[in-house]
């Protein structure tokens, strides 16, 4: 057993771990990051954000999805899209991004230690290598950024073949014709919409009566309509009692209501389980909830002051973008650097087809809080750029105070939503008014011009 001293040890090399480690290194601290060699870059790079968003782009390209409004519903770049076609692009991007992560850590003199981590006490971590060897690390501070894995349930026996979780989706050899998606959270809806773009019939089963309750209802209604147009079936308020195979070896999901849903595959995407259960948290004086989430304060400190946690391991919103910022802010606080957070300007991006993105308050939140507001709307199909891109769906909605005219929220549904949301994010951050969009010259033709159209629409309503 050997021992080494670090100012900070980061458990996990995903977005939160990377940015937390680099932020501390830039303050002149001696930093080490622990992760398994094959998982450098974390879940974000290997099974989450990067592969799923790359898969989305591959589907849009290979199916010619965005060109169908010009060339007809039957237009496609390839007559048959295979799993190999989709996996090729995903693997290329993952390999490149892994090198970027390794380079960033090395360039900032962050030590990368390969293996598994577990606490021996609040200041000591045991590192287990793949060959069975162990070593110990002594450190003054610790950042837990160990990420998550798909949650499983006894009623859904995932086998990695036709009953799969989101990590196993590209493991098959051929694409199915019908898929059952259990869970209409962000991950479930993203994959369900991608499958419908491949002309695969999808049935979405969700135990709650509504989907993505933190998202503006108009955006969810638009997505639901668009997916139904592509053949998706939504079974909301339905719980899965049992999953198995019928006598024809098709997957069958039996619901508590007595219904049965059949498909070639079943994708189980009901939440995530954090990897904190692998860390021996009690030895550090910590505990987690049933999903492994660790409670933190506004500075990302756990109940043990020198131990911080960031990223998916602390729960919602569990986005790569927010995780990066949480890691940076955690390191800033632990080493006394400038700490500034703007939670009201955090954008959310949901990479369905089409995308949804938002920043600020929703109509539901403002109504519940009894805050008066007015709206301004722009439809993508009415923009010159939207016509050029063949967009037959899309909407940008601005919420603003009718007296002060300050922006309260921006919500976008449609292709490139996650890009153009940042214009609204900037205006909310500097506490601008809807007049900004009236008085600003936007390039023409662009999708960003939707802000001027929506701004003028909102002012006309006054």
% of the chain at pLDDT higher than 70: 96
Q: Do both 367 and 455 map to the same domain?
A: yes
pLDDT value, residue 391: 87
Give the predicted TM-score (pTM) of the model.
Answer: 0.91
What does the DSSP 8-state code read for residue 416? T
pLDDT value, residue 73: 63
pLDDT in tens, 410-452: 999 999 999 999 999 999 999 999 999 999 999 999 999 999 9
In a domain, 122, yes or no: yes
pLDDT value, residue 74: 65
Provide the b/e sequence for 271-299 (b: ≥16 CB within 10 Å).
bbebbbeebbbeebebebeeebbbebeee
CATH number of the domain residue 75 falls in: 3.50.50.60
In a domain, 251, yes or no: yes
Residue-wise DSSP of 209-242: SSS-TTS-HHHHHHHHHHHHHTT-EEEET--EEE
pLDDT value, residue 236: 97
pLDDT value, residue 1: 40
Across 381-393, average pLDDT: 90
Domain boundary among 296, 315, 343: 343
Question: Rounded to whole angstroms, how far apart are CA atoms 112 and 92?
Answer: 23
Say whether pLDDT at 76 is over 70. Answer: no
Q: Do both 229 and 362 map to the same domain?
A: no
Regarding beta strands 407-413 and 201-206, do their DSSP bridges make them parallel or antiparallel, or are they unpaired?
Answer: unpaired
Rounded (to 5) percent helix, strand, coil in the chain: 35, 25, 35
pLDDT value, residue 339: 72
In a domain, 158, yes or no: no
> Are 338 and 350 contacting, i.e. CB atoms less than 8 angstroms apart?
no
Count of structural domains, the chain:
3
Question: Rounded to whole angstroms, how far apart are CA atoms 94 and 263?
Answer: 30
Q: Measure Cα distances from 211 to 142, 183, 411, 424 in Å.
A: 36, 9, 16, 24
pLDDT in tens, 276-334: 999 999 999 999 998 899 999 999 999 999 999 999 999 998 889 999 999 999 999 99
Cα angle, residue 387 at apex, residues 382 and 393 outer, rounded to 5° = 65
Q: Do both 366 and 339 map to the same domain?
A: no
Q: Do both 32 and 128 map to the same domain?
A: yes
Question: Rounded to whole angstroms, how far apart are CA atoms 163 and 172?
Answer: 11
Q: Which ranges in 288-434 belong to alpha helices (H)?
A: 320-334, 363-368, 384-389, 417-429
Say whether pLDDT at 154 is over 50. Answer: yes
What residues make up the domain containing 143?
3-150+273-343
The H or E element containing residue 180 is strand 178-182
Q: Do both 133 and 232 map to the same domain?
A: no
The H or E element containing residue 264 is none
Bridge partners (DSSP) of residue 234 are 204
CB atoms near residue 112 (< 10 Å): 17
Bridge partners (DSSP) of residue 117 are 127
Which among 147, 142, 95 is positioned nearest to 122, based on CA atoms? 142
Q: Do both 310 and 390 map to the same domain?
A: no
CB atoms near residue 256 (< 10 Å): 11
Residue 109: how many CA atoms within 13 Å on its side-chain side? 8
Hey, what's the torsion of the CAs at 52, 58, 61, 62, to 10 degrees? -130
CATH number of the domain residue 450 falls in: 3.30.390.30
The residue ranking higher by pLDDT, 44 or 198, is 198
Question: Per the omega criterion (within 30 degrees of 0), is the bond before 374 cis?
Answer: no
In a domain, 349, yes or no: no
Q: Do both 283 and 202 map to the same domain?
A: no
Say whether pLDDT at 70 is over 80. Answer: no
Cα angle, residue 397 at apex, residues 391 and 400 outer, rounded to 5° = 160
pLDDT in tens, 333-356: 999 987 777 777 899 999 999 999
Question: Rounded to whole angstroms, how far apart are CA atoms 20 and 13?
Answer: 9
Domain boundary among 320, 343, 366: 343
Q: Do both 127 and 142 map to the same domain?
A: yes
In a domain, 156, yes or no: no
Domain boundary among 289, 310, 343: 343
Q: Three-state DSSP class for 374? A: strand
**pLDDT bracket for residue 71 (50, 70, 90):** low
> Are 167 and 47 contacting, i.e. CB atoms less than 8 angstroms apart?
yes
Q: Three-state DSSP class for 434? A: coil
Question: Rounded to whole angstroms, how far apart are CA atoms 54 and 398?
Answer: 29
Q: What are phi and psi of 301, to 5 degrees?
A: -85, 140
CB atoms near residue 213 (< 10 Å): 11
Q: Do both 256 and 401 map to the same domain?
A: no
In a domain, 155, yes or no: no
Q: Do both 38 and 139 map to the same domain?
A: yes
Question: Rounded to whole angstroms, how far apart are CA atoms 94 and 170?
Answer: 14
Hey, what's the torsion of the CAs at 445, 422, 66, 352, to 10 degrees? -160
């Amino acid at each position: 057993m050997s021992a080494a001293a670090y100012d900070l040890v980061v458990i996990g090399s995903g977005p939160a771990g990377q940015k937390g480690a680099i932020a501390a290194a830039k303050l002149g601290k001696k930093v080490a990051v622990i992760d398994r060699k094959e998982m450098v870059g974390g879940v974000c790079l290997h099974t989450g954000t990067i592969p799923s968003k790359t898969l989305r782009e591959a589907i849009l390209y290979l199916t010619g999805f965005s060109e169908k409004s010009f060339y007809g519903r039957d237009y496609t770049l390839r007559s048959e899209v295979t799993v190999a076609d989709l996996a090729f692009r995903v693997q290329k991007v993952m390999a490149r991004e892994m090198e970027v992560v390794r380079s960033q850590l090395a360039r900032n003199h962050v030590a990368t230690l390969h293996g598994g981590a577990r606490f021996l006490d609040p200041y000591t971590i045991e590192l287990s290598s793949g060959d069975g060897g162990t070593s110990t690390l002594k450190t003054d501070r610790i950042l837990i950024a160990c990420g998550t894995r798909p949650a499983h349930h006894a009623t859904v026996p995932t086998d990695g073949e036709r009953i799969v979780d989101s990590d196993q989706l590209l493991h098959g050899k051929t694409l199915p014709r019908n898929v059952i998606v259990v869970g209409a959270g962000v991950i479930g809806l993203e994959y369900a919409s991608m499958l419908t773009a491949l002309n695969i019939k999808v049935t979405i089963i969700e135990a709650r009566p509504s989907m993505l309750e933190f998202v503006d209802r108009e955006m969810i209604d638009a997505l639901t309509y668009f997916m139904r147009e592509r053949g998706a079936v939504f079974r909301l308020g339905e719980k899965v009692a049992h999953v198995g195979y019928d006598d024809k070896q098709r997957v069958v999901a039996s619901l508590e209501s007595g219904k049965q849903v059949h498909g070639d595959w079943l994708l189980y995407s009901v939440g995530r389980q954090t990897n904190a259960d692998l860390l021996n948290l009690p030895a550090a004086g910590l505990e987690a909830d049933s999903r492994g989430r660790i409670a933190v304060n506004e500075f990302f400190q756990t109940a043990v002051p020198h131990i911080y946690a960031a990223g998916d391991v602390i729960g919602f919103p569990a986005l790569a973008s927010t995780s990066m910022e949480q890691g940076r802010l955690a390191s800033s606080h632990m080493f006394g650097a400038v700490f500034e957070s703007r939670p009201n300007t955090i954008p959310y991006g949901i990479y369905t087809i089409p995308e949804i993105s938002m920043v600020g308050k929703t109509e539901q939140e403002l109504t519940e809080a009894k805050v008066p507001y007015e709206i301004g709307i722009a439809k993508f199909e009415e923009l010159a750029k939207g016509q050029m891109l063949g967009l037959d769906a899309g909407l940008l909605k601005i919420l603003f105070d009718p007296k002060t005219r300050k922006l309260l929220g921006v919500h976008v549904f449609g292709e490139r939503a996650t890009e153009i949301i940042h214009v609204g994010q900037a205006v909310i951050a500097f506490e601008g008014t809807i007049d900004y969009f009236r008085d600003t010259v936007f390039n023409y033709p662009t999708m960003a011009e939707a802000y001027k159209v929506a701004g003028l629409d909102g002012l006309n309503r006054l």
